[in-house]
Chain A
Amino acid sequence: MRHAKGKPPRVGDRPAIRRTLIAVVLVTGAFFVLAPLVVIAVQAFSLGVGYFGATIAHPDTRHAIFLTAATALIAVPINTIFGIAAAWAVTKYEFWGRRFLIVIIEIPFSISPVVAGVAYLFVYGLQGLFGPMLQSAEVRVLFALPGIVLASMFVTAPFVARELIPLMQAQGRDLEEAATSLGASGWRTFFSVTLPNIKWALLYGVVLCNARVMGEFGAVSVVSGNIRGQTNTLPLHIELLYHDYNAVGAFAAASILALLAVVTIVAKVLLERQGAGRRSRPALAAPIVEAKP
């Protein structure tokens, strides 16, 4: 960082610019990211710990927490498997429609979640494509857990695949070919060669996916029907509390969501600090040894 006196600074290392840039980023970050989170925490406890506890313990809030967790437990694993499969297909195979598949995977990123929700209404709603069929089979998709899960999955479909595709593209097929030529089966190759080399990107994708599933509002709001204590996920419940002029309750519930987010991030950091993280990238941990013939 510091440069010797009298020598010109390295490119991009002028002290004034460096200090200004760091200050701007710090202030902006604090103002836009940190401050609102602090406000949530402060507001949540503004009527005392007792009121906070009561809000959290309220059956409707508890149910919303349960529903959000259940949705994540179903949607995240499915999307993880989908993401691995999609990344594998796109990077390891040549097939007709490969580029098209990449575009398809990206769609949920660029589309408003509300559109996804409305689309699900048209597909599974009573007047929708499969509506009558589902009704006669007495399967409830909309205004129930399946609809919430489907909407969440739509929104988060790209997360894992997007993390894996560039990495697996860079890695190519050599490692898998090497493992297979040494006699490893497809499963063995996947679990002992492919997976260890993508695990950090995969984990990162899963963490992002999970955070988004838990926080998803737009798409879920359309398909869930907002039934208090039945189909309200945590984000929807927060909005409901807010509309009930229960700002403190809303902040209390929001603090739970914020806490979940913090926990996911901390989990990721902790996992990366594990010895395993070093093992997967030994170059970062140990000096390169020069050739000794």
Chain B
Amino acid sequence: MKISLKNVAKTFQTFRAVRGVSLEIESGELVALLGPSGSGKTTILRMVAGLEYADEGQIFFGDEDATDIPVRERGVGFVFQHYALFPHMTVGENVAFGMKVSKKKRSKADIEARVGELLRLVKLDGLQDRFPNQISGGQRQRVALARALAVDPKVLLLDEPFGALDANVRRELRRWLREIHSELGITTLFVTHDQEEALDLADRVVILDEGRIVQEGTPAQVTRQPKSAFVVRFLGDTNRLSASVANGMADLGGASIAAPALADGKADAYLRPNDLTWSTTGGGIPASVEGVLDRTGSRRVIAVTDRGDPLEFDVAPEVAVKAGDRGFVQIARAQLFAAE
């Protein structure tokens, strides 16, 4: 089911959480709402679910105006950040709950069969007599998903679905959610503040800041053609160097790069740790190394330019570099924006 938001706004007391958001989510798409805390992403998700009502604007499910349809009748599957499993019910009873309270009556055997089917889908068969406290966090999140899917929702909404899990489980569940999505093809909207999660999982990423959409697009679009410095900064580690632009070239104090789109004047260059390389022989921005952090696939060099700007970049594990070394930082690529 296609979802459209038309100029939706929401204010809590004096806090303007969402300020005129318009968004289209195509049927079967997997879309991430990404933003820092307070950017309005969860509020948007809750408005789509019907757990909050929009002060302004409309929300359409297909062609139907769903703005004022209460959550109970909206037909969404909502997965909460902290699972919200019913602690006094077993896993099986949790999954069956939506079918038991449904207006559409099902026979007991029917419900049981469907519960079994859903638990197999989320790879939890055999655990249906456990209570939520007796299973792990990752398993709980999968029960929550099975419970949401049990009511055959038109849309699946997930609020920070993996936020409370440790990194390994999170990565595994991410892959697994992708599989479930491609198997069921259900329109899915999820909220996250984790850039990696959004980029790994979503067909399209919607980046929010202060209640507004700052950019939306495929992971390739938002990473390679960021529209603003905020998007660059938010999507990952970055270094900022001030630059001066003249005649389509930006000078970064030792290195210059093409800046065809910028007018002459001051600019900011944003450089990912992988956009920089280290050279001892010359060419580039003169810098000295302050420290090196060894990581699994690379070494993170913490350096400072002779102009006093801090820089962080990655070099291959074999590169022998240590604190106190002097050399040159070379720029492979950069994102340039007119100075703020």
Contacts and interface: CB of A to CB of B under 8 A. Distances in A.
Interface of A: 174-175, 177-185, 188, 192-193, 196-197, 279-283, 286-293
B82 interface: yes
Contacts of A292: 136
Given A182-B101, A182-B148, A197-B87, 11 more contacts: A174-B82, A177-B84, A178-B78, A178-B86, A180-B71, A182-B151, A184-B72, A185-B101, A279-B131, A289-B134, A293-B138
A291 B71 contact: no
Contacts of B82: 174
Interface in B93-134: 97-98, 101-103, 130-134
B136 A283 contact: no
Given A181-B49, A183-B151, A174 B80 contact: yes
B131 A282 contact: yes
B72 A196 contact: no
A183 B102 contact: yes
Interface of B: 49-51, 71-74, 76-78, 80, 82, 84-88, 97-98, 101-103, 130-139, 147-148, 150-151, 169, 172
Nearest to B79: A178
A287 B133 CA distance: 9
A291 B169 contact: yes
A192 B49 CA distance: 22
Nearest to A176: B84
Contacts of A293: 138, 169, 172
Given A180-B71, A182-B98, A288-B134, A193 B86 contact: yes
B312 to A, nearest CB: 34
B88 A178 contact: no
Tell me if A's interface is mostly helix, strand, loop or mixed.
helix
Contacts of A180: 71-72
B82 to A, nearest CB: 6
Interface centre among B76, B133, B135 (most CB of A within 10 A): B133
Contacts of B71: 177, 180-181
A286 B50 CA distance: 37
A177 B49 CA distance: 10
Contacts of A280: 87-88
Contacts of B98: 182-184
Nearest to A181: B78
**Which 6 residue pairs across A and B have the least CB separation, nearest first?**
A291-B136, A182-B98, A282-B131, A174-B84, A283-B133, A178-B84
B136 A290 contact: yes
17 contacts: A174-B82, A177-B51, A177-B71, A180-B71, A181-B74, A181-B148, A183-B98, A183-B101, A185-B72, A192-B97, A193-B86, A280-B88, A282-B131, A286-B133, A291-B139, A291-B169, A293-B138
B101 to A, nearest CB: 4
Contacts of B132: 282
A285 to B, nearest CB: 9
A290 B86 CA distance: 20
Nearest to A196: B88
A191 to B, nearest CB: 11
Contact of B72 (A175, A181, A289, A291): A181
Given A282-B131, A283-B133, A182 B84 contact: no
A292 B133 CA distance: 15
A184 to B, nearest CB: 4
Contacts of B74: 181
Contacts of A193: 86
Contact of A286 (B103, B131, B136): B131
B138 A179 contact: no
A287 B135 CA distance: 10
A280 B72 CA distance: 26
A184 B97 contact: yes
Contacts of A183: 72-73, 98, 101-103, 151
A141 B339 CA distance: 79
Given A197-B88, A282-B131, A181 B76 contact: yes
Contacts of B87: 197, 280, 282
A289 B136 contact: yes
A243 B134 CA distance: 60
Contacts of B73: 183
Contacts of A188: 101
Interface centre among B50, B51, B101 (most CB of A within 10 A): B101
B88 A286 contact: no
Interface centre among A181, A184, A286, A293 (most CB of B within 10 A): A181
Given A177-B51, A193-B86, A182 B97 contact: yes
B80 A291 contact: no
Nearest to B82: A174
A165 B82 CA distance: 21
A291 B50 CA distance: 33
B157 to A, nearest CB: 9
Contacts of A184: 72, 97-98, 101
A182 B147 contact: yes
Contact of B137 (A175, A281, A291): A291
A279 B131 CA distance: 8
A286 B134 contact: yes
Interface centre among A177, A178, A179, A184 (most CB of B within 10 A): A178
Nearest to A184: B101
Contacts of B136: 289-292
B84 to A, nearest CB: 4
Nearest to B137: A291
A282 B134 contact: yes
Nearest to A279: B88
Contact of B133 (A178, A185, A197, A288): A288
